[in-house]
Amino acid sequence: MTRLTIRTFVTLMVLSWGHTSWNTAALAEETGPIFIGLDADMSSGAAEGGEAIRRGGDLAIRDINGKGGVLGRPLKMVVRDHRGNPARGKDNILEFAAIEQMVAVLGGIHTPVALHELKDIHDGKLIYLSPWAAGTPIVDNGHSPNYVFRISVRDALAGGFMVDQAIKSGHKKLGLLFERTGWGRSNERAVKTALKKLGMEPVGLEWFNWGVVDVSAEVDRLIQRGADAVILVANPREGGIALKAMADRPKNKRIPIISHWGITGGNFFADNRDALANVNFSFLQTFSFLKPPFPDRAKEFFAAYQRTFPETMRPENVLSPVGAAHAYDIIQILAKAVTMAGTTDRPKVRDALENIKFYAGLMKDYAPPFTPTRHDALDSGSFIMARYDANGAIRPLDLK
């Protein structure tokens, strides 16, 4: 072989290797997994809610992958624990945004964490799907284009709903007991706005911080000002402290508590069983297996849930069912958007999410789920009030 021939041979081999490497990378992109992140509290006070979201998302992914995946590729979840800490959440978002085939992130529960992440979500053009966080500014965030989409309660609507429920129950003097966070402030605006429309105002507003060990003084002040019911905005730990403060009062001096849904994200029943038996305590929910919007869809979902998590013997034993149902629906809608976009390019998938016409979900017939001007999929028509029964199952108040 002459020197020229050898040089030509080597050149062709180098080009061939380079072409093979490029083809391998392209093939991996076309056939490798599409990643979905989960940024949630998986180990702290709302870990049950984080696990519920993980399970709902996992069941949606199993269903989608069992039908061939999306664009011929499997979906895969990557889980990170923010532990209810905004700084950890920010780190998780930065990590997810840097993963090329990460198309979207499920966010878990805490409004303060999500609010802290908004800048990085939008800087990274990372689609953020919220199945459990109610703060109004999470969606109404001022970013354009907006990368946040939610199937969850919205405080601007929840405040009015809780006020309406209190009034329907005969209460006219409402005391407010709210956590001092972005979520609490979101509810302050919502509840006060709802009361103002009725020509009313709260008899008092008391704040507490995360980590508080006693709110007896706050409860006492609200009752001294004439409150005949308390609207509570709290997560499981602090919600339990508020409940116990009420239960410790003399029987004839206890008043009902109407709570936002944050208390259901942890071990609230197990930690507060005795107090629950001594206080009229109800709370906001959306989905219930005991009275689902679409029984056949819920039955099919529970069958899949039980196959995957066989320790769950009955529908009422499903962990934080709202988290599971919302996560399942929003991942199914995301898959439709990726299919519509024909790519995992985040801006194109974001645009597709605004243009899906219909999805028959566990929560509702989404027609459409989202629009360019509406990134909240649920309204107050999806809200219900519930309470824990003697066995810890969450039961809708109007369940016959």
145 cis-preceded (ω within 30 degrees of 0) = yes
In Å, what is the CA distance from 18 to each residue of 11, 14, 25, 29? 11, 6, 11, 17
Q: Which two tokens stand for residue 199?
A: 């020509």
Question: Which residues sit opposite 70 in a β-bridge?
Answer: 73
Range of the structural domain that residue 222 is part of: 156-285
pLDDT beyond 60 at 24: no
278 and 311 share one domain: no
Q: What is the Cα–Cα distance from 39 to 55, expressed in whole angstroms?
A: 13
Q: Do residues 246 and 185 share a domain?
A: yes
Same domain, 173 and 115: no
Selection from 377, 375, 371, 378 nearest residue 357 by Cα = 371
Q: What total of structural domains would you count in the chain?
A: 2
Whether 139 maps to a domain, the answer reads yes
**Over the stretch 76-128, which tens digit does the pLDDT of each residue have?**
999 999 999 999 999 999 999 999 999 999 998 899 999 999 999 999 999 99
What does the pLDDT look like over 151-190, one tens digit per residue?
999 999 999 999 999 999 999 999 999 999 999 999 999 9
Single residue among 285, 307, 342 that ends a domain in this structure: 285
Residues 268 and 363 in one domain: no
Q: Are 387 and 281 in contact (CB under 8 A)?
A: yes
Q: To the nearest whole percent, how much of the chain has pLDDT over 90?
A: 90
Q: Which amino acid is at 124?
A: G
Contact status, residue 287 vs residue 326, Cβ threshold 8 Å: yes
Please, where are the H alpha helices in 198-258? 216-224, 236-247
Task: Give the pLDDT of residue 17.
Answer: 40
Mind listing the pLDDT tens digit for each residue in 185-216? Answer: 999 999 999 999 999 999 999 999 999 999 99
Torsion of CA 136, 352, 362, 318, to 10 degrees: -70
Which pTM value belongs to this model? 0.90
Claim to verify: residue 242 and residue 328 sit in the same structural domain: no
Residue 260: pLDDT over 70: yes
